[in-house]
């Protein structure tokens, strides 16, 4: 069997919760709950495969314009997730980081995020990054504006240090579930040389085995980074 190369940094656009629920005649909120359950189990699996950094797209800046009812359901899930998972992640040596515009979130959720980040900060087995209220254009624009205020040209390294991902390893593999083949404003700068992998499965039904399949496919790719 061919050797599996485990990517250090994997990102996932967790898409398809709503359609998963619709197919089962369930409310969209039930799809998000199933998605959260899958997300927790899949993260554990990814770290046990040897992935060092896992970045998950949980809520985009554009998602913030969804109907209030749906946003409330998502916020309710975050209110459950952070306190419970902070303990769990801490026990497993995983540090949690949230990227995105925290001011766009309800204040109590921003506070729970801060507490969870603090609680897990010493984790050195891996890093779980949740993108919440995140938009890549906004991230790049904010970095560009800060760079402009500095009044001098920056190197690529200096510019990267202005992004949310400044302390993370380069992105190796970007997976999107749910059948769409686009980035939807996720990690536009960081994905420059990431391998892209698209799955037809809706996120709640994307199994650990499906993740293994993505790692196998990643291992088969010939990454040349623009060289020969």
- For residues 219 and 5, the answer to whether their CB atoms sit within 8 Å is yes
Q: Choose the catalytic residue: 17, 63, 172, 185.
A: 63
Residue 199 touches ligand IPE, criterion: CB under 6 A:
no
Q: Which stretch binds ligand IPE (CB under 6 A): 2-10, 13-21, 139-147, 214-222?
A: 13-21
Counting contacts by CB under 6 A, is residue 178 touching ligand IPE?
Answer: yes
Binding mask 122-161 for ligand IPE (x = CB under 6 A): ----------------------------------------
Which of positions 7-36 make contact with Mg ion (CB under 5 A)?
Answer: 15
Binding flag, residue 172, Mg ion (CB under 5 A): no
165 forms part of the interface with ligand IPE (CB under 6 A): no
Task: Note whether 92 and 125 are within 8 A (CB).
Answer: yes
> Would the CA dihedral through 66, 68, 74, 78 be positive or negative?
positive
Q: Which of Mg ion, ligand IPE, none does 204 bind, CB closer than 5 to 8 A by kind? A: none
Is 63 known to be catalytic?
A: yes
Among 9, 15, 78, 174, binds ligand IPE (CB under 6 A): 15
Residues with catalytic function: 15, 63
Residues that bind ligand IPE (CB under 6 A): 14-19, 35, 59, 63, 74, 178
């Amino acid at each position: 069997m061919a050797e599996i190369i485990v990517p250090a940094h994997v990102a996932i656009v967790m898409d398809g919760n709503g359609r998963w629920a619709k197919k089962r005649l369930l409310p969209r909120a039930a799809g998000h709950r199933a998605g959260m359950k899958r997300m927790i189990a899949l993260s554990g699996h990814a770290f046990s495969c040897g992935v060092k950094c896992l970045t998950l797209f949980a809520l985009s800046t554009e998602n913030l314009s969804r109907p209030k009812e749906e946003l409330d359901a998502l916020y309710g899930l975050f209110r459950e997730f952070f306190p419970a998972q902070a303990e769990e992640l801490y026990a497993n040596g995983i540090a949690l980081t949230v990227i995105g515009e925290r001011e766009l979130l309800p204040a109590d959720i921003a506070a729970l995020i801060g507490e969870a980040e603090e609680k897990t900060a010493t984790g050195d087995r891996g890093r779980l990054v949740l993108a919440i209220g995140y938009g890549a254009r906004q991230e790049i624009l904010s970095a560009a504006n800060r760079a402009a205020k500095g009044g001098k040209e920056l190197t690529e390294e200096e510019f990267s240090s202005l992004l949310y991902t400044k302390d993370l390893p380069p992105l190796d593999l970007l997976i999107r579930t749910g059948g769409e083949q686009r980035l939807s404003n996720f990690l536009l700068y960081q994905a420059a040389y990431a391998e892209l992998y698209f799955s037809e499965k809706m996120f709640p039904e994307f199994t650990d085995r499906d993740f293994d399949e993505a790692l196998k496919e990643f291992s088969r790719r010939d990454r040349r980074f623009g060289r020969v």
